[in-house]
Amino acid sequence: TAQVAALLAEAVANHFDPSVVALVQGGASTAQELLQLPFDHIFFTGGAKIGRQVMLAAATQLIPVTLELGGKNPCIVLDDANLEITARRIAWGKFFNAGQTCVAPDYVLATAGIRKPLEEAIKAAVESFFGSDPSLSASYGRLVNQAQFDRLEALLEGTQLLSGGQRDRKTLYFAPTLVSAELSQPIMQEEIFGPLLPFLEVADLASAIALVNEGEHPLAIYLFSQNREAQELLLNSSQSGGVVLNDVVVQAAFSTLPFGGVGASGMGRGHGRHGFETFSNLRSILKRGFQLDLPFRYPPYGNRLSWLRRFLD
């Protein structure tokens, strides 16, 4: 992350006038200083805790904000899903960048008939992607820092390990890890943002939707099912920033789709034209001439008052 930030800073300085685009590197104190400046709009990407602080700082200056906050994105898998493709897509989306993306599947809700086969299929997909030892794979990433490593390690406590779990704090390696979890456990109480994938079993889609609706609205909901009625039920019975049917993560790549959250997962939209409109001020301009100035708009109105009220309505 630090290397990418340095590269971006160099590229921006080389290609943009600083009065047009400026990139400032820094941590929390730098961000707090920036929030004291009278910007026209603030777009923040991060967690809900810091998002609240950003919104509070912006409110003191009445600066509009767009917040993209992530959240616990559920991945619901029903018995009729294509097992091999579903497993491959979930494994790719979850372990891309070692799980450190806001749209990564956070946990799996699977019906009884497919849960165990799905677990085995995801294990097989992980091995096909990264080999028997992902630490040796050039295609598998590392955690951003030791604080995140420690946070993820703590989330493992109390869960039942299904696969993976190998880790090295010094190198920030954390293997793709599948676990069986309970709703009351810490791993199900906060956004994971790492390569840990909890599995929970549900009776049916209605039970899965009810479970999702008990929590905060997620940035994305993923449903794997070929049943159109199931797809419609999810769309009509849940709230989220977005929904993807039979895939994960790819919605973020389409510039034609508005991207953002709802409730605790954020507010406002970006990407493509939607991002352009977010950063634009839609100013209304009305121009009149002096040639026509009808007297009936001016008082006294007399019996024209009822007509004027209809006109203003």
Question: What pLDDT shows up at residue 298?
Answer: 86
Question: What pLDDT shows up at residue 303?
Answer: 74
pLDDT digits (tens, 9 = 90+) for 30-39: 999 999 999 9
What distance in Å separates the CA atoms of residue 134 and residue 127, rounded to the nearest whole number?
Answer: 8
- Percent of the chain past pLDDT 70, that is, above it, reads 100
Pure H helices in 131-224:
146-155, 205-214
What are the distances in angstroms from CA 100 to CA 17, 104, 193, 194, 272?
Answer: 32, 7, 5, 5, 23
What distance in Å separates the CA atoms of residue 149 and residue 142, rounded to the nearest whole number?
Answer: 10
Contact criterion met (CB below 8 Å) for 272 and 287: no
Name the pairing type of β-strands 42-45 and 65-68. Answer: parallel
- Whether 68 is catalytic is yes
Contact criterion met (CB below 8 Å) for 268 and 66: yes
Identify the three-state secondary structure at position 190: coil
Does position 309 have pLDDT exceeding 80, yes or no?
Answer: no
Q: Which residue, 108, 31, 67, 44, is CA-closest to 264?
A: 67
Span(s) in the chain for CATH 3.40.309.10:
74-263
Q: Which residue, 265, 271, 214, is CA-closest to 102?
A: 265
pLDDT digits (tens, 9 = 90+) for 180-225: 999 999 999 999 999 999 999 999 999 999 999 999 999 999 999 9
The residue type at 66: T
First and final C-alpha spacing in the chain: 55
Instruction: Record the pTM.
Output: 0.91
Question: What pLDDT shows up at residue 103?
Answer: 96
The label of the residue with tokens 């406590």 reads 157
Beta bridge partners of 108: 75, 199
Question: What pLDDT shows up at residue 71?
Answer: 85
Q: How many CB atoms lie within 10 A of CB 108?
A: 26
pLDDT digits (tens, 9 = 90+) for 150-189: 999 999 999 999 999 999 999 999 999 999 999 999 999 9
What does DSSP assign to residue 256?
Answer: T
What distance in Å separates the CA atoms of residue 29 and residue 87, rounded to the nearest whole number?
Answer: 42
Confidence of residue 304 (pLDDT cuts 50, 70, 90): confident
Question: What pLDDT shows up at residue 230?
Answer: 97
- Whether 102 is catalytic is yes
Question: What pLDDT shows up at residue 253?
Answer: 93
Does position 291 have pLDDT exceeding 80, yes or no?
Answer: yes
What mean pLDDT do residues 288-309 have?
Answer: 82
What does DSSP assign to residue 143?
Answer: -
What distance in Å separates the CA atoms of residue 67 and residue 137, rounded to the nearest whole number?
Answer: 34
What distance in Å separates the CA atoms of residue 100 and residue 95, rounded to the nearest whole number?
Answer: 8
Options 75, 102, 119, 216, the catalytic residue = 102
- Architecture in CATH for domain 74-263: 3-Layer(aba) Sandwich (3.40)
